[in-house]
Amino acid sequence: MSMLTPPGMGGKYRITGDVYPRMRRPHRRRRIVLAATAAVVVLGAAGWGTLQLVDVFSGDTGTKAAAGKRADCKPAPTPTAPAAAALPKPAQITVNVYNATPRSGLAKTTADELKKRGFKVGKVGNAPAAYDKKVPGAGLLLGAPAATKGAFPVLGTQLAGATTRTDARTTADVDLIIGTAFKNLSPKTTADAALVALTRPAPAPAGKC
């Protein structure tokens, strides 16, 4: 064994010249383990982010929001129609028919037709001087203030275009004063349909969520 051979080398290594053997330190394995761990963490984060993007663009958020809205939405209460019992029936209305036009016979023929349609007929004749030839429309309904929510709407179904006016009377009868533009009462089928619509109004639309 040469004198230059380090003890314990067993003659396996022989130093010649100025080159010495160097022992490799075990740092490479630790670096490999750390790099692999970091790669796993990065891949996991990337996968989670991808799933979030898929949820956003697939509309899951909107679906959940819509479902929550439907859950919070409460059905609107069933609408109730106004009480039709407050309106009198034709048989409960007494109508006085007056003719304010130069044409004769209109008051009687109109009164007869109203009687056929179920109304009670009171006085029939020419209009008082205050209204004679002074009603330009088809007709004028005249009565007590209470008639505006009772007899006027019902009687108004029989004559399209009739106007209304109240006076100081305290009785429940109403006057139908025929105007110069009067031709005929509304056709019975039309008047009946208007009367049905008046007593059975359509319910209000239900609320939307």
Q: What is the DSSP string of 113-144?
A: HHHHTT-EEEEEEEPPTTTTT---SSEEEEE-
- Mean pLDDT computed over every residue of the chain: 78
Mean pLDDT (whole number) for 170-192: 97
Helix, strand, coil shares of the chain as percentages rounded to 5?
A: 40, 15, 45
Say how far apart CA 59 and CA 70 lie, in whole Å. Answer: 17
Q: Which residue has the tokens 């984060």?
A: 45
Q: pLDDT per residue over 107-147, tens digit each?
A: 999 999 999 999 999 999 999 999 999 999 999 999 999 99
Whether pLDDT at 178 is above 90: yes
What's the pTM value of the predicted model, to 2 decimals? 0.59
- Higher pLDDT among residues 82 and 132, named by residue: 132
Local structure of 186: helix, strand or coil: coil
Phi-psi region of 141 (alpha: psi -120 to 50; beta: other; left: phi over 0): beta
Q: How far apart are CA 167 and CA 203, in angstroms?
A: 33
List C-alpha distances in Å: 47 to 37, 57, 67, 111: 16, 16, 27, 89
Residue 86's pLDDT band (cuts 50, 70, 90): confident
Main-chain dihedrals φ then ψ at residue 56, nearest 5 degrees: -65, -50
Concatenated DSSP letters of 135-169: --SSEEEEE-GGGGGTHHHHHHTTSTT-EEEE-S-
Torsion angles phi and psi, residue 142, rounded to 5: -125, 130
Is pLDDT at 98 greater than 80 in this prediction? yes
